[in-house]
Amino acid sequence: MRTPSAPVEGSGNVRSKATIYDIAKAAGVNPSTVSRALNNPGRVSAKTQKAVRDAAEELQFQMNPYARALGTGRTETLGLILTDITNPTFFDMIRAAQSTAITRNYTMMIAESAESPATELKAALRMQATVDGLILASPRMDDDNIRILAATKPMVVVNREVEGVSCVVPDVNGGIRAAIRVLAEQGHRKIAYLAGPTQSWMSDRRWEGVQDASAWSRLETVKLETGKPTVDGGRRVAREVLSSGATAVMAYNDLLAIGLMQELQAAGVVVPDHISIVGFDNIFGADFTTPPLTTVRSPLATCGTTAASLLLDKLDREAEDQPSLVHVDTELILRGSSGRLLAAAAQTAH
Amino acid sequence: MRTPSAPVEGSGNVRSKATIYDIAKAAGVNPSTVSRALNNPGRVSAKTQKAVRDAAEELQFQMNPYARALGTGRTETLGLILTDITNPTFFDMIRAAQSTAITRNYTMMIAESAESPATELKAALRMQATVDGLILASPRMDDDNIRILAATKPMVVVNREVEGVSCVVPDVNGGIRAAIRVLAEQGHRKIAYLAGPTQSWMSDRRWEGVQDASAWSRLETVKLETGKPTVDGGRRVAREVLSSGATAVMAYNDLLAIGLMQELQAAGVVVPDHISIVGFDNIFGADFTTPPLTTVRSPLATCGTTAASLLLDKLDREAEDQPSLVHVDTELILRGSSGRLLAAAAQTAH
DNA sequence: TTGTAGGCGTTATCAG
DNA sequence: CTGATAACGCCTACAA
């Protein structure tokens, strides 16, 4: 009826793939019983249970996830899509999401979009076929596409708010207000915001936050566009920062902030005496710089954990639950790259 | 014969899963023809081709990878297993591997072992069931297990040499010799090596390299054990470094080096006047420190690309090819954390 | 060039 | 409690 098809060597070559059929034969039961014994421990007699387990052990049985997925549609796999794997901003989140997934016996797949909405959508579509649920981190595609995806399979969005979809979003205003307040007290009057990618929802939120808080403190603001939100991108915008007349800079992320600081320092500008710099995210290495970087910490690790948990809960419930919106707080981490403006120095800088 | 089972709404609800059967119906052909049209473009008439493609497009067809995998055993997926996702050492490698995989239309899955040989083996076993091939980065399990895994499915090991398995390994000696030579010229006489994880093959190679090069330059060496190869691990070993009498330190990796430097500086030790510090890997942020970190650069990005290519080639060939061993060169990146030993300072330090 | 039929490994649904 | 049997979606001889 069923050909084992194994090119059997005489030796105890226990290589490769034993199926539940092999176990069934070894344990003297029916394949379906094996399946039950392995999955619903309790719905099978104790001795059968043991026989099956032993045989499985003996044959080094490894379930074939594809065969299972084909029937059940479930793969015990989560997908995580982000804009740039190498962006340290995501490290904590990846790690956190990964480990909570593992804890619940799920595997995680990662893909990146290279900041392109199209690539992102394609990656998401492809992943949808493979995973039980998806986490979209800082997605660049438009709301409608996100909702379409969310309608297909459970999904959680991080770092962006989308109507009708579960989201985990840092509330940037707390951290920003603290930062602006401090900058104002230190004598700054004009703040430059280094914008993130055009498609970035979060960059807009941060810019809004900066404007609001600045208005409150009667500070002037100016928005400077940048290319990619990387160290290099920060370097490139240094000249523009200098000519903007701003004495303090809030960057879309730490990478930009660090790049800017490096370039300014190379040009003889003293941080923070001439210009104060504040980043976002508190990435790994943000405290390695001289001076160490003042930054608004987004608890990305918390976001990762929360997102994964939310998603896994959805999967467990299997029900059409309400989309939830989780806000996590941000805080200012005051370090050396921001400080009181030295009037004399300020003049030198221009 | 086959129940579409779709709870068909009247509307144009194109949700979820269209199968080749749906396409077949829409295009007025047999499912097998659809399969052919989609996979072997050319073995089907032009007009059928078009009809099928159009229908697929229309129905937003997404192939079910599991169904395909079940039959063919191939999933177009690569697995990458590493010891610690958050270790920046791997970032470049992950990225490089990922993007070469994508280029060849493969997806990549990532898992981590938390530095534990047992976890690692388990993760590898689990992944084997899911992926077409595996990349093991800095594996901690023993050679035999690696060979067993490699016998099951195509595999490439990075950062370690295993007899009979394809490996991509940085040749540390070039970089180490350069480092030791410079240190010797700068007046150092005793070098401390901060060891990596006990299970780390690469840590042993680096220690050997340090010993060899030191012997050549008639320098004394001492090996100091550390806990986890992290910034924190580096901090913890600072006291021991001071009491070792060494004036220069080579750390297993940059993380350790940075942690050590931070702790020493906090204790008033001046780097490099009192103690020179050299790291390994040239991770992101290694040049953020003050002084910036001197380090032996391992071209991990190259390793990632090479490993992925090797693996994909294996998969293409499908043949039992010879295991290859690729060496990539390392180089010394001389920055500020190493330098001439100041005699006066040296005395102060003890 | 295209259709038919069987199988991939597992789970689910029925009987027994 | 356990056995038989039919899907799950796709691929691939083989036949037409």
> What per-residue confidence (pLDDT) applies to B319?
61
Confidence of residue B125 (pLDDT cuts 50, 70, 90): confident
Position B343 scores a pLDDT of: 62
Across the interface, whether the CB atoms of A110 and B110 are under 8 A apart is answered yes
To probe the interface with A, which of B59, B86, B148 has the most A CB atoms within 10 Å? B86
- Record: contact B62-A151, CB cut-off 8 A: no
Residue A318: per-residue pLDDT: 64
Q: Evaluate if residue B188 carries a pLDDT over 70.
A: yes
pLDDT at B330 over 90: yes
Task: Look at residue A84 in the predicted model and tell me its pLDDT.
Answer: 83
For residue B108, give the 3-state DSSP assignment. strand
Quick one: pLDDT at residue B4?
35
User: What six digits make up the tokens of A275?
Assistant: 């210009």
Residue-level pLDDT at A320 = 63
**pLDDT confidence tier of residue B191, bands split at 50, 70 and 90:** very high
| A276-318 per-position pLDDT tens digit | 999 999 998 999 998 999 999 999 999 999 999 999 999 887 6
Whole-number pLDDT of residue A88: 83
Which of A128, A202, A214 has its CA nearest to residue A162?
A202
User: Does the structure show a pLDDT above 60 at B7?
Assistant: no
Closest approach of A215 to chain B, Cα-based (Å)? 34
B35 CB near a chain A CB, below 8 Å? no
Instruction: Give pLDDT, residue A20.
Output: 92
Question: What is the per-residue pLDDT for B256?
Answer: 97
Q: B83: Cβ–Cβ under 8 A, 6 or more apart, which residues? A: B112, B113, B114, B115, B120, B137, B138, B140, B197
Asked if residue A143 has pLDDT above 70, the reply is yes
Contact residues, chain A, for B92 at CB < 8 Å? 86
Reported as a single tens digit per residue, the pLDDT across A10-28 is 223 334 678 999 999 999 9
Q: How far is CA B110 from CA A98, B28, B95, B137, B348, in A?
A: 9, 41, 11, 11, 48
- At residue B156, what are phi and psi to the nearest 5 degrees? -130, 135
Q: How far is A29 from chain B (nearest CA, A)?
A: 24
- Listed in order, strand segments (DSSP E) in B162-258 are 166-171, 190-194, 220-224, 248-251
Residue B125: which of A62, A128, A151 has the nearest Cβ? A62
pLDDT digits (tens, 9 = 90+) for B194-250: 999 998 999 999 999 999 999 999 999 999 999 899 999 999 999 999 999 999 999
Partner-chain residue, chosen from A15, A98, A152, that has the shortest CB–CB distance to B112: A98
What's the pLDDT score for residue A40? 84
**Residue B16 is nearest to which of A98, A108, A152, comparing CB atoms?**
A152
pLDDT for position A317: 78
Q: Which nucleotides of D are covered by protein (CB under 7 A)?
A: 1-5, 7-13
* Distance in angstroms (rounded) separating the CA atoms of residues A218 and A183: 12
Separation CA A261–CA A293 (nearest Å): 9
Radius of gyration of chain B (CA): 27
Residue A32 contacts strand D, CB under 7 A: yes
- Alpha-carbon distance B110 to nearest alpha carbon in chain A (angstroms): 6
More confident residue, B213 or B345: B213
Rounded mean pLDDT of A310-335?
89
Q: Are A61 and A23 in contact (CB under 8 A)?
A: yes
pLDDT at A85: 78
Interface check for A98 against chain B (CB to CB < 8 A): the answer is: yes
Cβ within 8 Å of B, A 185-224: none
Per-residue pLDDT tens over the stretch A30-83: 999 999 999 887 788 989 999 999 999 988 888 888 899 888 888 888 999 999
Q: Give the pLDDT of residue A21.
A: 92
Quote the pLDDT of residue B235.
96
- Note the pLDDT tens digit of each residue in B41-95: 778 888 999 999 999 998 888 888 889 888 888 888 899 999 987 788 888 898 8
Contact A161, A303 (CB under 8 A): no
Maximum average pLDDT range among A203-212, A317-326, B122-131: A203-212
Chain A 149-168 residues whose Cβ is under 7 Å from strand D: none
| pTM for this entry | 0.81
Is residue A165 predicted with pLDDT exceeding 90? yes
Q: Is the pLDDT of residue A249 over 70?
A: yes
Q: What is the predicted pLDDT for the residue at B89?
A: 86
Among the partner-chain residues B91, B129, B288, the one whose CB lies closest to the CB of A65 is: B129
The residue that leads in pLDDT, A237 or A316, is: A237
Per-residue pLDDT at B182: 97
Give tens-digit pLDDT for B251-298.
999 999 999 999 999 999 999 999 999 999 999 899 999 899 999 999
Long-range contacts (CB closer than 8 Å, 24 or more residues apart) made by B280-283: B280/B172, B280/B206, B280/B250, B280/B251, B280/B252, B280/B253, B280/B254, B281/B89, B281/B253, B281/B254, B282/B254, B282/B333, B283/B88, B283/B89, B283/B91, B283/B253, B283/B254, B283/B255
Quote the pLDDT of residue A126.
81
Residues of B in contact with A108 (CB under 8 A): 109-111
Range in A130-139, B1-10, B194-203 with the lowest mean pLDDT:
B1-10
CA distances (Å), origin A277, targets A102, A124, A341: 38, 36, 11
Which residues of chain A are within 8 Å of residue B135 when distances are taken between CB atoms?
Answer: none
pLDDT at A5 over 50: no
pLDDT at B186 over 90: yes
Residue A160's pLDDT is what? 94
Higher pLDDT among residues A98 and B181, named by residue: B181
Q: Does A305 touch chain B (CB under 8 A)?
A: no
The reply to whether residue B152 touches residue A15, judged by beta carbons under 8 angstroms, is: yes
Taking the CA of residue B29 and the C1' sugar atom of nucleotide C3, their distance in angstroms comes to 9
Residue B88 to residue A284, Cβ atoms within 8 A: yes
Residues A48/A37, Cβ–Cβ less than 8 Å:
yes
Is the Cβ of A109 closer than 8 Å to some Cβ of chain B?
yes
User: What are B80-115's pLDDT values in tens digits?
Assistant: 999 987 788 888 898 899 889 988 988 888 888 878
Of residues A112, A130, A285, nearest to B284 (C-beta): A285
A87, B87 contact by CB (below 8 A): no
**Nucleotide C9, nearest residue via CA and C1':** A67
Helix (H, G, I), strand (E, B) or coil at B230: coil
What was the pLDDT predicted at A30?
A: 92
- The answer to whether the C-beta of B6 is closer than 7 A to strand D is no
Question: Of all residues in chain B, what percent carry a pLDDT higher than 70?
Answer: 92
Q: Which of B266-275, B311-320, B323-332 is least confident?
A: B311-320
Calculate the angstrom distance between C1' of C10 and CA of B126.
17
Nucleotide closest in space to A44 (CA vs C1'): D1
Contacts of A285 in chain B (CB under 8 A): 88, 284-285, 288
| Model pLDDT, residue A119 | 86
At residue B320, the pLDDT reads 63
d(C-alpha B288, C-alpha A290), whole Å: 7
- Percent of chain A topping pLDDT 70: 92
